[in-house]
Structure 1
Amino acid sequence: MTVATVDVETAAAWLQAGEAVLIDVREADEFAAAHVEGAILAPLSAMPAAWQALDLPADRKIVVMCLKGGRSHQVCAFIGPTGPEGQPLFNLTGGIQAWYAAGLPIIEG
């Protein structure tokens, strides 16, 4: 199955404009150490319950991220091309490492 991807610059613009919601599928300790402001934690280890517990806005794109893009790709492949209400789903290329490398802000614990 093909998973749609988005680069960090585009994802950051979507988030800034209020067009997207960011789901971080890393583990809680990784999230606590460093995360993107506004990201919602839904660890891969707690799937699919963590995903089902999310209250995702119907009018926003869903961007899924992890450290480098592998775990988020797994989640996107499992969920499918759209969220529960038809929202387009995207894997963040390069994860938080690419976000940080691009000079985009992160919150460090």
Structure 2
Amino acid sequence: MKTAHDLVLAAKSQCREVPIENAQALVQSADVVIDVREADEYATGHLAGAINIPRGLLEFKLSGTPALEPRDLNVVLYCKTSGRAALAAVAMQGMGYLHVVSIAGGIEAWVQAGMPVVKPVQPLFE
């Protein structure tokens, strides 16, 4: 029986992962950057301009959002450490997306490399 780890390793062998040192340039030139973490994770900090589509909703959101339907979009995916992003990349490739990359190491590697993260400010209610 396969484990989640087995599935992630298989996905990583089937998708393109970009090393963190090349990630910023790809993020800047991407048509769309998708954070596949859960909404509460996204709210703690995310890449500037990234949209949040949790991994469990990805195929449905891609199919139901006209701006995300073109299969030739340049897409960069990331999650916490890159497992969910690799699974998402393989799913998108299976849907016919042609230019999908995952950031190796995810947002943890991004932050460790000192790259910028957007952290939403919560309003104070007194």
Q: Same fold (TM over 0.5)?
A: yes
Q: Which has the higher strand share?
A: 1
Answering whether residue 44 of structure 2 is matched by residue 33 of structure 1, we say yes
SS at match of 1:48: helix
- Normalising by structure 1, report the TM-score: 0.81
CA RMSD in angstroms, aligned pairs only: 2.1
Residue 73 of structure 1 corresponds to 86
Which of the two has greater helix per residue? Answer: 2
Is it true that 1:3 corresponds to 2:15 in the alignment? yes
Within the candidate set 94, 98, 107, 2:105 is matched to 94
The runs of 4+ residues in structure 1 deviating greater than 3 Å are 56-60
1:20 & 1:9 partners in 2: Cα distance?
Answer: 19
Give the corresponding residue for 1:52.
Answer: 63
- Unpaired stretches in structure 1, ≥5 consecutive residues: none
How many percent identity over aligned positions?
Answer: 33
Q: Which has the larger radius of gyration?
A: 2
Q: Answer yes or no: is 1:105 the counterpart of 2:116.
A: yes
Q: Using the alignment, how far apart are the partners of 1:69 and 1:39 within structure 2?
A: 15
TM-superposed deviation, 1:58:
6.5
| Count of aligned residue pairs for this structure pair | 105
TM-score (norm 2): 0.72
AA aligned to 1:50 is: K
